[in-house]
Structure 1
């Protein structure tokens, strides 16, 4: 960003200035978890529903930040303060001023779906012709939008900014900040936010973006949007896109055909995409429409559509050789994406960190200025090894601290690569596609798989935030990561959540907790099913056991004595209030109180129980019965202990349905992973996991030919089938064979045929345009795990936890 003095910012936001007015600011922070020793950064202490940024000022100061925007200065802290009435509004005022300084083209993008993809694809299509500023990641909120605007520079030809809303009244403030020349509405899905009465109200809020715009781009096929805009904004230039022949930019080919035919102003254009799902083709049509409204060579852009990269490939975390983790960002190497990638590296719990960085392309700064800035950023982070690749960056290698090696090209790096140099560390691979970093990525990966379980960590975090929005500010959260994180990988899930104010992680067995400790998880970990043979593991790794019987209390006490533990060890008492699995019953409480009074070796950290029917509306009375019995038992124990242990009883369903029982802490499980017990809340939880594979082979059957064991499928007409390299040994239930389920291929349903095998299954693709190697979705965004579970007459928990260990987990962030 362009540097500002503290005095100038103070004038813009009408702040009281305390400290050095001449301090220079070139970076903005609002999240204490992402701060990394930037003395020229400024921290906005923004209040939140669950956490107040003001509570983290001292922590941020200790990380090296000297400048703060606050509502109240901390006198004993030797720092610079800008004191304002409203910190969020101050950030927006600064961004509004900054936007007014530049006359370059600004494109604002809103909609319920596709904003980030359209923004990133526009960048991929245009960066060779234009200098572009774009919103980092999905920064589209009341905070994210001003941060995006502050990235605008004098030499930028184009800025592409996302705008998102969550409730009425938000678009007006952020659209005024962006003041777009072109406003784009991607689409309006049928689902609406809980803050809006209906789809119409949400659409009208989003359309407020158009008030500021000179030109408007909308979907012609959406009658609600089209009619409203044509009635209220007919004084502006309106450009429509869609399949209807009356659209200004018409998709003349099928929505599932990657060989796109587009008609615009009497001309026909032919585009080829590397994707053939409907969403990708629709987003490509939006990108084409936007490009037609910019001053660029359209013919140069058309050929680039076939080289578009999926946005989700960014910051994918993969298992690497020698117990390493690879963060793969071989996507581009512009300045804004480098900061995002460095934050991802910094937030990983592995202590040893390595950066592999190529020449920085797609930026118009002079090389010395560019690499001085990049080195300044890199040097601020605790990175033990820096490896540089590229002729240009090699000339400035002396600017980088902890330089391990520098090479002029990828080939030289691979020639000198020694696997023994990398072990038990996280490696960020960051650079431009020109350098073929996929070759390095392939080398570091343990092995490549056609069948993978893809875990979207941003959606995981979004679900945690949604559940937290249902809680009182004082209510803590224990994230359940038992059963290997519900099949998604407990380590990967815990690493993603550890910086999001999770007080506890819950595991079933001690070895699960031990694995989390080995991978840098420092939070409290409760073990729900501690076995006697695991007590040494629990004590050695500072895990905290659930205690549910007198035998267990006595045995664990003996283990503590043998380990010569000098302080009272934390335990968690389980009460049986009606589930009748584990726990102390009401009639045992008197004896329990006596045994605890005579036991100096343990300290009761929490007392908890478990609802049996919080997801069954018809069983509401039993929920209240359990809660009342729990509170009665808790009160007796706490009174005799002389202190109040943490109280918790609510799982995901109880969080959503029984807010009165939040108590001190809640224990969400399935909700974190994107599954709600009811359809109303399901609208606001995001899909976290996608089980995918590819087509191994395509066979054409003649009438009368059969498929698989037992010949349970016979072709009654010429039939085309695809064989997929996934079977019941991978977690695909055998019951799904013989037409009892389907998969998704290129956005279309492909019904199963024949018996599902151990390592393979077959599906009917007679009416689907596909080829060998095409992606296949077993379950995910458009084929939910709930639906798959219903076909199998089971619950989503079983489907998720049944995915085999041999299926590789890939983490996307």
Structure 2
């Protein structure tokens, strides 16, 4: 089927679905394939559930004129999304980075929404399937779009840029993550840098952390608006240590505004995420007061930099959605820097850092050494099928190790934690977010 013909059908039925379990009546069902499933086999089920059409690449599964045959379903989905994006011409900001990209996306969406009707990536739909699905939600009512881009292999960001064709780009940072796919930190840098390459070739605009020498070097020669603690940044911020949540002072280099902002985020490591959102908003004309109000209202969720007070007297720093060596280091340093009140315990609940490949063993042992060097009395709970259990074999204060989160929950139920400051941090696959209700 030709792309133009498919696009005409999409304009008549402007909702797409890839999952028969969450299918909207009147949608177009795209029968994607994976390692353990073949969406072609669900075409009849999709049509019976109310789909207007089903796009297939297996001719044996054709049913009637409502089943549309293409060479490759995923390619057709991506081409349709790219074509739709070009037809609307909506300005797009792409955000990627090793740490903080989802939080930065959410904060930036909060800021821009204070002035503009916008579309932004929902949840973690930031890959070769999620980005096209997001773009196909784009409508003429949207004045801006924010597209989060994730990567685990070289070329991933270039592929997403070819689909979304962003006009603005922002890399939060570059660190050691997904090394199994990238092979090295240089591989991470090259892949994330594909966003800068796209913006450079397009002659478009970047937002760059002025405190990051690597990003400044990579963005040289491209139009950029900067933020950071550096006095040379267009937008400058500094942390005010007044309570557990992040508060900051702001100053614009132009001298036209100075202010203070109290957020509901926890951790100094969120400072560049907040500044990035403010830099984008100020550049795009959102009033300062509206930006600050939006960020003050923003409440993190889904175990991303949440500060939670519990009935047992615990203060939880829930940051269990993702973990890699750089994010684990910053979370640990922030945790150790929080003043301890009299009688308050200090507890670390840490999970495996996944997808580090050959660097896994060294990264986890370095984490253990960092905890040892802290020299603070800690209760340590380690959870994961691989590396965290190995760490527990080494001498450490009050260590408990668990192969999976169910065992950890049983321990917390048997011996509850109370009156403690608790950091919960690990890769999402460990599912440490499920322990929150037991603290």
**TM-score over 0.5 (shorter chain):** yes
Query: Cα distance 1:24–1:303, how it changes in 2: closer, same or farther (>3 A)?
Result: closer
The equivalences for 1:727-746 within 5 A come to none
Identify which of 796, 804, 813 aligns with 2:402: 796
Match of 2:251 among 259, 263, 268: 263
> Match for residue 34 of structure 2?
48
The answer to whether residue 175 in structure 2 is matched with residue 184 in structure 1 is no
2:219 partner SS:
helix
**What per-residue deviation string (whole Å, max 9, x for no partner) do you get for residues 700-749 of structure 1?**
xxxxxxxxxxxxxxxxxxx964333899xx9xxxxxxxxxx9999xxx97
Work out whether 1:300 is the aligned partner of 2:290. Answer: yes
Matched, 1:722 2:347: no
Q: Does structure 2 retain, via aligned residues, the 8 Å contact 1:186–1:219?
A: yes
Shift of the alpha carbon at 1:286? 1.5
Provide, for residues 426-477 of structure 1, a one-character-per-residue CA deviation record: whole Å limited to 9, x for no partner. xxxxxxxxxxxxxxxxxxxxx9555499999977xxxxxxxxxxxxxxxxxx
Q: 1:720 to 1:312 in 2, by over 3 A?
A: closer
1:49 to 1:193, Cα distance in 2 relative to 1, 3 A: farther
Within 5 A, what are the aligned runs for 1:551-566?
A: none
> Which structure 2 residues correspond to residues 490-639 of structure 1 after superposition, within 5 A?
none
**Structure 2 residue 62 is matched with structure 1 residue 72:** no
| 1:279 to partner: Cα distance | 2.6
Cα drift, residue 63 of structure 1: 2.8
Q: Structure 1 length as normaliser, TM-score?
A: 0.40
1:32 aligns with 2:23: no
Would the aligned equivalents of 1:182 and 1:216 in 2 still touch at CA under 8 Å?
yes
Residue 112 of structure 2 is matched in structure 1 by 126
Query: Does the aligned pair in 1 maintain the 2:382–2:400 contact within 8 Å?
Result: no
What residue number does 1:12 align with? 3
What is the number of equivalent residue pairs in this alignment? 372
CA deviation string 1:363-410 (max 9, x = no partner): xxxxxxxxxxxxxxxxxxxxxxxxxxxxxxxxxxxxxxxxxxxxxxxx
* Matches of 1:72 and 1:157, distance apart in 2: 38
Corresponding residue number in structure 1 for 2:299: 309
1:270 Cα deviation after fit:
2.3
Q: 1:97 aligns with which of 71, 80, 83?
A: 83
Pick from 147, 154, 160 the counterpart of residue 168 of structure 1.
Answer: 154
Distance 1:195 1:789, change over 3 A: same
| Cα distance between partner residues in 1 of 2:28 and 2:71 | 17
Which residue of the partner structure matches residue 61 of structure 1?
47
For residues 276 and 456 of structure 1, the distance between their equivalents in structure 2, rounded to whole angstroms, comes to: 9
Report the Cα offset of residue 98 of structure 1: 1.0
Q: 1:720 to 1:301 in 2, by over 3 A?
A: closer
Give the structure 2 partner of residue 203 of structure 1: 189
Going from structure 1 to structure 2, the CA distance change for 1:723 and 1:750 (only over 3 Å counts) comes to farther
Q: Deviation of residue 225 (structure 1)?
A: 2.5
Distance 1:795 1:71, change over 3 A: same
**What secondary structure sits across from 1:802 in the alignment?**
helix
CA offset at residue 788 of structure 1?
7.0
TM-superposition CA deviations, 1:548-583 (whole Å, max 9, x none): xxxxxxxxxxxxxxxxxxxxxxxxxxxxxxxxxxxx
How far apart in 1 are the matches of 2:262 and 2:11?
51
Pick one of 259, 264, 279 that aligns with 1:289: 279
Judged with a 3 Å threshold, the aligned counterparts in structure 2 of structure 1 residues 56 and 215 are, in CA distance, closer, same or farther, namely: same
Please show how residues 227-246 of structure 1 align to structure 2 within 5 Å: 227-230=217-220, 234=221, 236-246=222-232
Match of 2:101 in 1: 115
* 1:751 correspondence with 2:376: yes
Q: RMSD between aligned alpha carbons?
A: 4.3
- Distance in 2 (CA, whole Å) between partners of 1:297 and 1:129 is 8
1:156 and 2:142 correspond:
yes
Contact 2:155 2:194 in 1 (8 A): no
Equivalent-residue separation in structure 2 for 1:250 and 1:50 (angstroms): 49
1:181 Cα offset (Å): 2.0
Aligned-pair CA distance for 1:179: 1.8
Distance 2:317 2:266 in 1: 19
SS in 2 for 1:99: helix
For the Cα contact (< 8 Å) 2:15–2:136, is it kept in 1?
no
Change in CA separation of 1:224 and 1:123 when aligned onto 2, cut-off 3 Å? closer
Q: CA–CA distance in 2 between the matches of 1:743 and 1:803?
A: 25
Pairwise CA distance, 1:91: 0.8
Structure 2 SS opposite 1:68? strand
Residue in structure 2 matching 1:280, options 231, 246, 270: 270
Would the aligned equivalents of 1:13 and 1:93 in 2 still touch at CA under 8 Å? no
Q: CA separation in 2, counterparts of 1:217 and 1:102? A: 24
Deviation of 1:202 (Å): 1.8
Cα offset for 1:207? 1.9
Q: 2:211 aligns to what? A: 221
**Residues 1:788 and 1:278: Cα distance change in structure 2 (over 3 Å):** farther
The answer as to 2:77 corresponding to 1:86 is no
Task: Quote the Cα distance in structure 2 between the aligned partners of 1:95 and 1:145.
Answer: 8
CA contact (8 A) 1:789 1:799 kept: no
Q: 1:191 to 1:157 in 2, by over 3 A?
A: same
TM-score norm. by structure 2 comes to 0.71
Could you say which residue in structure 2 is the equivalent of 1:418?
A: none
Q: CA deviation at 1:779?
A: 7.2
Aligned partners of 2:96 and 2:170 also within 8 Å: yes
Cα shift at 1:193: 2.9
> Could you tell me whether the CA contact under 8 Å between 2:56 and 2:69 is conserved in 1?
yes
Question: Are the structure 2 counterparts of residues 145 and 259 from structure 1 closer, same or farther at C-alpha, using a change threshold of 3 Å?
Answer: same
Which ranges in structure 2 are unaligned for 5 or more consecutive residues?
Answer: 350-367, 418-433
| Closer, same or farther: CA 56–22 of 1 in aligned 2, 3 Å | closer
Contact 1:275–1:281 (CA<8 Å) still a contact in 2? no
Aligned position for 2:355:
none
Cα distance in 2 between the residues matched to 1:779 and 1:454: 16
